[in-house]
Amino acid sequence: MTEQNKHPEESGLDLFRPTAEDERKGITGITMEQEIVSVATLRARKRRRRAIMLSAISLFVVALVIISGALITRYDPFKTRDYSGGGNGTTVTFTIRSGQSTAQVAQELEAAGVVADADKFVEVYTKESKGKYLQPGTYELQQHMSSSSAITTIIEANSNVLYLAIPQGKRVSETIDLIVSGSDGAFTRKQVEDAVSNYTQYGVPSNFPSIEGWLHPGEYRFPKDTDIKKVIQTMVDKTKADLKEAGVSGDQKTFEVLTIASIVELEAQPKDYVAVAGIIENRLNNPDGETSGLIQSDATVTYGLGVRSYHLTEEQKADKSNKYNTYANKGLPKGPIGSPQLASIKAAAAPEKNPYYYWVTVDLDSGETKYSRTYAEHQRYVEEYNQWCSKHPNRCS
């Protein structure tokens, strides 16, 4: 008998042995089994563990290679980050498009072989541009230019050029601001205001209350010494060209089309221009209907108030002294409320024939607009707009 058998109570297995009380209750305890494993099984298990380990190592190595490749591509220590000098003599005609960011321009310069590295170009531009912008246009550059040389060439190409960018829907006062700021000191605000005050000299009909509606949106390039009247005349001439293309002639028809086009452009998305122009025509042609000949455009009221807002008070809507208030005054407002472009001019000149009298944009982000024949139906859609605004308070202020 072994020492362990002499003293069974000292065996670790006694922990699982039933007590006398347990045995009377029929509890026999826990049976411990010992696994008997063959040499072949042990070897197989070892091979499996080795295979699992090798697979894990392989996956790690592949991931490391992929990450390293990406880092090398992005931060290649052997890649030339910048060329030196003004190029290798091979001309590259390069175009910067309107709306492109500096990063986008840099990527295209690198792809064209003008600069060595887009990130380096952006870095140098940030340091050396001194507030000057990469203006849209076509430039004659060279392959393998230093970033500094490319930037200087682009900026200096515009050093004698007056570049103006006028977005659509801007009011005269806002357009004047853009002309002054874009002229780089060439024009003062007083010079521009004086130039537009006598608007009939540019061929604007006298039945318009001001030059509002005639300063055509778009991009303009003039020599730096261009007279401000030449700038204004060019903008007016572009509006005249749009009117001619839309088949509009005669002072009264011109007034109606430009005024309605300016409202449509601010009240609707491009896809809805012709429909909204048709609704305005329906209202104007039916003074005894539910809308009483009132256009009821928020944009016209806010123009007369000199503000931009999506919300009006009932008092503001009732104010007849505001000659642009189309809630209180029947017919068209006193004049255009902005400078429209060709699409809205065409819509106003040839509006859609439809049965609607109301419209409301229920989602300012998507531009979803809903039309209705009656005020009751319209109110349901207005509630949709109000619900949207409650979820997007910063967009409806």
Would you tell me how many other CB atoms lie within 10 Å of the CB of residue 224? 14
Residue 11's pLDDT is 45
Phi, psi of 345 (to 5 degrees): -65, -45
The domains of the chain are located at: 42-77, 89-157, 162-232, 356-396
Alpha carbon distance 196, 215 (integer Å): 10
pLDDT at 13: 46
Q: Which of 337, 342, 253 is nearest to 295 (CA)?
A: 337
Q: Is 80 helix (H, G, I), strand (E, B) or coil?
A: coil
Comparing CA positions, the residue from 133, 193, 138 lying closest to residue 165 is 133
Give the C-alpha separation, 231 to 182, whole Å. 12
Q: Which CATH class is domain 89-157?
A: alpha beta
Query: How many whole angstroms separate alpha carbon 96 and alpha carbon 105?
Result: 7
Each residue's pLDDT expressed in tens, for the chain with a length of 397 residues: 444 444 444 444 455 556 666 666 665 555 555 555 566 676 777 777 777 777 778 787 777 777 766 555 555 555 678 999 999 999 999 999 888 999 999 999 999 999 999 999 999 999 998 878 888 888 899 999 999 999 999 888 877 788 898 998 899 999 999 999 988 888 999 999 999 999 999 999 999 999 999 999 998 989 888 999 999 999 999 999 999 999 999 999 999 999 999 999 999 999 999 999 999 999 999 999 999 999 999 999 999 999 988 789 999 999 999 999 999 999 999 999 999 999 999 999 999 999 999 999 899 888 899 999 999 999 999 999 999 999 988 888 6
* Length of the chain counted residue by residue: 397
CA distances for 390 relative to 268, 359, 362, 394, 397, angstroms = 21, 20, 12, 9, 11
pLDDT at 238: 97
Does the predicted model carry a pTM greater than 0.95?
Answer: no
For residue 77, the model assigns a pLDDT of: 56
Distances (CA, A) of 379 to 266, 280, 375, 386, 392: 21, 18, 6, 10, 20
Chain centroid to CA 362 = 19
Q: How many whole angstroms separate alpha carbon 239 and alpha carbon 345?
A: 9
What letter does residue 268 receive in the DSSP assignment?
Answer: S
Going through 265-357 in order, the beta strands assigned E by DSSP cover none
DSSP calls for 172-210: HHHHHHHHHHHTTTSS-HHHHHHHHHSGGGGT--TTSSS
